[in-house]
């Protein structure tokens, strides 16, 4: 069994910068972050957390069918998303709400998916964020295939920063046990595809702890496939930014894939249908609470960048306003026309789809006037 793997960290849990202890290239990326950038990162994380809290409440009140909380994983998501360029494409799971928000996705469009009124309402081309993936690990294959297409389009290794692009594929520690993820690794390294695999290791694949899934750090698995792996403190937004930015630049330059393991913790339940109290000890949760990513960045901003109570109060008010707007938007979402599910199955009309549409319309017509359905 391999020994422990180095974890890249640039902000300690009490908010002190420790860049000098890391790779100079990574420290140089971190050094590009201005005080305004760091305030923006804090705002992104705080707004994502407030949206997450509101979405959880909406689900508990019966307004959403399900919700997958990101609580505790804000730094890994915001840091990695902010490391991308507009031409990059991101492939999320069903928990990357902060990633979506950083890239300009309206949270209401995310919640419309969990309310069941559409299949993902945002503009993929405008935001660069592909639809959420529920099938565990499937998005890593989608991302790798897309990255190979980017490569064939000549948008890799040209030296033009406005043209060269990369792809980010998000997945969790549980997905690392899936065949799809390992197949994506094989294709990515064989073709030197410009893809960065971002594994948010939140320690629990529903109720199965990470140590039950792997004998070595997840990032170390990359060496077996022939590409680099890096483990980063997933609660340190500065380190997450620096590591993913370096990996993304490597991918855009045509140097192939990188696996980034963001070592973090899922503070809440796997989804709102889960009870984590049945399988994990509360003392573990409290230990990770002391490493909270927002508290860490707040301490740093107060100590080194002059952020005061007024700044944090403004962010909190903005979060409450966003949550109120989100709640109103969710409650006002119209139910979809039942036949609309057939509209975008294919780009053009398809005989089988049209046959199914006609059958379903006849079926619904036959229900008119029955109890529970208005005539």
The residues assigned a catalytic role are 266, 270, 279
CB hemisphere CA count around 338 (13 angstroms): 10
Helix axes 35-60, 293-304, angle to 10 degrees: 150
In this structure, the chain runs to a length of 375
Within 10 A of 353 (CB to CB), how many other CB atoms are there? Answer: 16
Can you tell me the distance from the alpha carbon of 256 to that of 44, in angstroms, rounded to the nearest whole number?
A: 29
Backbone φ and ψ for 282, nearest 5 degrees, come out as: -65, -30
Alpha-carbon distances, residue 139 vs 97, 100, 132, 134, 143 (angstroms): 16, 15, 8, 9, 6
Helix axes 237-252, 74-82, angle to 10 degrees: 40
CB neighbours of residue 53 within 10 Å: 15
Q: Helix, strand or coil for residue 296?
A: helix
């Amino acid at each position: 069994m391999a020994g422990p793997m180095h974890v890249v960290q640039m902000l300690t849990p009490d908010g002190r910068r420790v860049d000098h202890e890391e790779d100079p290239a990574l420290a140089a990326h971190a050094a590009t972050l201005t005080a305004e950038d760091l305030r923006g990162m804090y705002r992104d994380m705080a707004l994502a957390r407030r949206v997450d809290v509101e979405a959880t409440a909406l689900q508990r009140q019966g307004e959403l069918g399900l919700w997958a909380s990101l609580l505790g994983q804000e730094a890994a998501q915001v840091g990695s998303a902010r490391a991308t360029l507009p031409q990059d494409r991101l492939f999320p799971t069903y928990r990357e709400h902060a990633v979506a928000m950083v890239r300009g996705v309206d949270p209401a469009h995310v919640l419309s998916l969990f309310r069941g009124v559409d299949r993902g309402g945002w503009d993929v081309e405008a935001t660069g964020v592909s639809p959420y993936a529920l099938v565990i690990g499937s998005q890593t294959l989608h991302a790798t295939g897309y990255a190979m297409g980017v490569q064939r389009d000549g948008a890799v290794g040209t030296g033009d920063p406005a043209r060269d692009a990369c792809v980010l594929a998000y997945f969790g520690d549980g997905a690392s046990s899936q065949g799809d993820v390992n197949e994506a690794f094989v294709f990515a390294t064989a073709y030197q595809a410009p893809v960065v695999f971002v594994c948010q290791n939140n320690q629990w694949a529903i109720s199965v702890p990470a140590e039950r899934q792997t004998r070595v750090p997840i990032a170390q698995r990359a060496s077996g496939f022939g590409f680099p792996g890096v483990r980063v403190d997933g609660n340190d937004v500065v380190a997450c930014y620096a590591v993913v930015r370096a990996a993304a630049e490597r991918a855009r330059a045509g140097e192939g894939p990188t696996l980034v393991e963001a070592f973090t913790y899922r503070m809440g339940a796997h989804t709102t249908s889960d009870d984590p109290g049945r399988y994990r000890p509360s003392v573990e949760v409290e230990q990770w609470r002391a490493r909270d990513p927002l508290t860490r960045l707040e301490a740093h901003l107060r100590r080194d960048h002059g952020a005061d109570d007024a700044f944090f109060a403004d962010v909190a008010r903005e979060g409450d306003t966003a949550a109120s707007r989100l709640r109103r938007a969710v409650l006002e979402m119209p139910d979809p026309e039942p036949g609309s599910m057939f509209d975008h199955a294919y780009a053009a009309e398809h005989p089988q789809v049209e046959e199914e549409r006609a059958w379903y319309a006849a079926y619904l017509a036959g229900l008119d006037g029955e109890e529970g359905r208005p005539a």
